[in-house]
A and B are shown apart, each in its own frame.
Chain A
Amino acid sequence: MSPRDWLVGTVVSATQQTPNAKSIVLDVPGWHGSTAGQHVDVRLTAPDGYTAVRAYSLASTGPGQQVELAVDLIDDGEVSPYLVEELRAGDQLEFRGPLGRWFVWKPEQTAPVQLIAGGSGVVPLLAMIRAHTAAGSSVPMRLLYSVRSPSDRFFADELVAASGVDLTLVYTREVPDGWPMAPGRVTKELIASTTTPATANPAVFVCGPTGFVEAVASALVDLGHDPVSIKTERFGGS
């Protein structure tokens, strides 16, 4: 079985994550597991044979034949509206993977880990948190997670409950009742005060919309992080 071969999964569940996003769990006979941070190509086929393919990060990791994606709806998108609004338990979905060997974290890595996510960019980072938990890793792992509002958090309960990761939430538009901070963007000062410092030589993973990743990665370099220690994944146009 090569990552280039198309597999067929059966949807086990589709769960609303935010008003615009769902997580989708698939049962996939023949799946050999994935490394945290990898993605898959999803292929949809119309009755006339027309196909559309897009890449989605995996929230799941490790062995087993269950695969979890999380998909944010893009208004003028072609594939995400189908996955978020149409797909339901029992449907079949074609995909291939796991793909990508760069933006990945493995439990045998010993450097502290700093994860920084914007919006749906948390999905591959959640896979890293799950891998960290599953391995019982003692490597320090922190997540700085920027979302617009409380309802825009992906995997909110799981992230709050995750004991192996030190979570900092940042709300850019709307904060929960009683939150001690006003809404605001992730700034260099905020990164300096809430993330693992460059002196600890962390492995840094940044995933989110292009503008978010550009700003965060530049701030990290300004704060003394070695550019080669910062892995990025961007999405959306500029």
Chain B
Amino acid sequence: MAIFSRGFTGRPREAQPDLPPGQFLTEDFPVLSAGPTPTIAEADWSFTIKTELGATHSWSWDELQALPFEDVHTDIHCVTRWSKLATNWRGVSMDTLFADVESSYDYVMVHSTGGYTTNLPLEDILDGQAWITTEFDGEPLEPDHGGPARMIVPHLYFWKSAKWVRGITMQRSDAPGFWEQNGYHTYGNPWREERYS
């Protein structure tokens, strides 16, 4: 039942094939976090993958640095409707981190310093779709954008790209994470506008 807004014309517009429905372009890099920005020293940082068998796979900052890094050139889409095109990140592929992980579970919960969590299907973070990043635009990642290390999963809304990431726990079912328990969609595909639950 769309109604027209008297006197509204909107911005001049041209086709934006890279922009998912309902999104607008921004040149800024807005910050959205549920609480304070934590300060995390590289020396104190680690990343751990835990499986249902109790196995853990951990990397310190220096161990992460020793892994192969990739340049990631991608568009990002926030559920608050801004999109930023052609951003540049540098990080380690989840494929590298999961190379020796054995699990029969199909889902993951990503954990961050400060208690933030977000849930994902395992298949959405493998095959070159997700990274642990430590650089944005050629500079170390700023704390308010998730530094020293942020997971990025750019094909989903950006709340799935957990700031201050510290670990992944394999889970049997797609149990919801932080925003997913607070009214947001469990999967978050921006091309299908999966914003709210």
Contact = CB atoms under 8 A, between A and B. Distances in A.
Contacts of A101: 181-183
Interface stretch (A15-23, A51-59, A152-160, A177-185): A51-59
Contacts of A232: 33-36
Interface of B: 1-11, 13, 22, 24, 26-38, 80-81, 114-115, 144, 178-179, 181-183, 196
Interface stretch (A63-71, A122-130, A138-146, A212-220): A212-220
Contact of A218 (B8, B37, B80): B37
Classify the secondary structure of B's interface with A.
loop
Classify the secondary structure of A's interface with B.
mixed
A44 B30 contact: no
Interface of A: 3-4, 6, 8, 44-47, 49-55, 78, 82, 86, 91-94, 99-103, 210, 214, 217-218, 220-221, 227-228, 230-232, 234-238
B193 to A, nearest CB: 10
Contacts of A234: 30-33
Given A44-B8, A46-B9, A78-B11, A230 B2 contact: no
A231 B28 CA distance: 23
A100 B182 contact: yes
| A-B residue pairs, 3 tightest by C-beta | A237-B28, A217-B36, A44-B5
Contacts of A214: 31, 37, 144
A210 B6 contact: no
A169 to B, nearest CB: 24
